[in-house]
């Protein structure tokens, strides 16, 4: 039996459903999700191992027009994944028309000369007639390796997607142990879960000016003790995050503790602090310090 393995970069605009797709394919939460653009900041590999293949899916930040240095770094992280992968899985929102952002991504794809699969997401929101029209419109844009309609949220057509992707993977040995599902450690996953809860609890009040740094982690008496620092870039945001009589930070802490307890299978005590680092998203040193720039300097 021929064994296949390779890297597949999941790319697309912000909010197209990249992280939802990764979690659905792995049947486990590896990437955090929210309805806010640029929730994903790091390239996160999700590893799916089958008896005859190993898929290494790389969830990337949404490619967008950056407003700060952080945005430029996020785009750079996505471009690195595109260049290093064996094939591309470009996920688009089937309910949205082709726009400037898509045109920009398409130019990048054309320059790479790699197999590119177009995944038309959110088909559960389209009638059959509309879906056919959307697929035909995309077919005229580029000579894709294949166009696959999916619903990442409803897990529709994902088995078919894996079959098609497998054919494009190179022959080779498994690159990761069978039990491994992500290339990021538990500390990274911990800070991401905390950040997800911040985005969920604060709604529109705290934009993407938040970073989370794990300061301390220790196991004691069967309990996991965690201390994390939440970084914001304005004093007003610190006030919002803490909330009236500490109500907002308490809700974030309790929500994060609950998920971390389920993840690690033990009681979790989480302490959260908030620090202001003015304009950190435009400071390269801070972006590196908070673990968001995965590249070496050019």
Q: Is 66 annotated as a binding residue?
A: no
Count Cα neighbours of 136 within 13 Å in the Cβ-side half-sphere: 6
Q: How far apart are CA 274 and CA 258, in angstroms?
A: 20
Q: Is 86 annotated as a binding residue?
A: no
Do strands 223-232 and 268-276 pair parallel, antiparallel, or not at all (unpaired)?
parallel
Say if residues 40 and 59 touch (Cβ distance below 8 Å): yes
Q: Is 253 annotated as a binding residue?
A: no
Strand, helix or coil at 113? coil
Q: Is 19 annotated as a binding residue?
A: yes
Q: Is 18 annotated as a binding residue?
A: yes
Residue 117 phi/psi, 5-degree rounding, is -105, 130
Q: Is 41 annotated as a binding residue?
A: no
The two three-digit tokens of residue 274, written as one number: 């908030």
Give the Å distances, CA to CA, from 231 to 60, 71, 190, 194, 241: 22, 17, 15, 12, 10
Give the Å distances, CA to CA, from 285 to 41, 67, 230, 290: 16, 17, 17, 9
Q: Is 84 annotated as a binding residue?
A: no
Question: Apex CA 6: angle with CA 9 and CA 112, to 5°?
Answer: 50
Question: Apex CA 165: angle with CA 162 and CA 169, to 5°?
Answer: 125
Q: Is 12 annotated as a binding residue?
A: yes
Q: Is 14 annotated as a binding residue?
A: yes
Q: Is 40 annotated as a binding residue?
A: no
Q: Is 121 annotated as a binding residue?
A: yes
Strand, helix or coil at 125? helix
Q: Is 76 annotated as a binding residue?
A: no
Q: Is 122 annotated as a binding residue?
A: yes
Say if residues 44 and 30 touch (Cβ distance below 8 Å): yes
Tell me the binding residues. Answer: 12-19, 59-63, 121-124
Binding-site residues for GTP, in ranges, read 12-19, 59-63, 121-124
């Amino acid at each position: 039996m021929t064994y296949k393995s390779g890297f597949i970069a999941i790319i697309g605009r912000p909010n197209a459903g990249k992280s939802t797709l990764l979690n659905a394919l792995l049947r486990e939460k590896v990437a955090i999700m929210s309805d806010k653009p640029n929730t994903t900041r790091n390239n996160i590999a999700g590893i799916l191992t089958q008896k005859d293949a190993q898929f290494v899916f790389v969830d990337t930040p949404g490619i967008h027009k950056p407003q700060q240095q952080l945005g430029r770094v996020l785009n750079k992280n996505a471009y690195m994944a595109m260049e290093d992968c064996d094939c591309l899985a470009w996920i688009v929102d089937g309910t949205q028309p082709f726009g400037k952002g898509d045109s920009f991504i398409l130019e990048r794809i054309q320059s790479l000369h790699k197999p590119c699969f177009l995944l038309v997401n959110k088909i559960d929101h389209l009638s059959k007639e509309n879906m056919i029209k959307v697929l035909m419109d995309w077919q005229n844009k580029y000579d894709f390796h294949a166009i696959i309609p999916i619903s990442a949220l409803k897990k529709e057509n994902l088995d078919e997607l894996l079959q098609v992707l497998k054919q494009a993977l190179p022959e080779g040995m498994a690159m990761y142990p069978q039990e491994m599902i992500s290339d990021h450690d538990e500390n990274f996953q911990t800070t991401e879960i905390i950040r997800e809860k911040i985005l969920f609890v604060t709604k529109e009040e705290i934009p993407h000016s938040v970073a989370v740094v794990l300061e301390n982690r220790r196991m004691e008496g069967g309990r996991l003790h965690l201390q994390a620092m939440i970084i914001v870039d304005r004093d007003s945001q610190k006030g919002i995050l803490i909330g009236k009589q500490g109500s907002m930070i308490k809700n974030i802490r309790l929500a994060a503790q609950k998920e971390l307890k389920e993840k690690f299978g033990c009681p979790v005590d989480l302490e959260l602090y908030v620090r202001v680092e003015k304009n950190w998203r435009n400071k390269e040193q801070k972006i590196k310090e908070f673990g968001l720039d995965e590249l070496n300097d050019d």
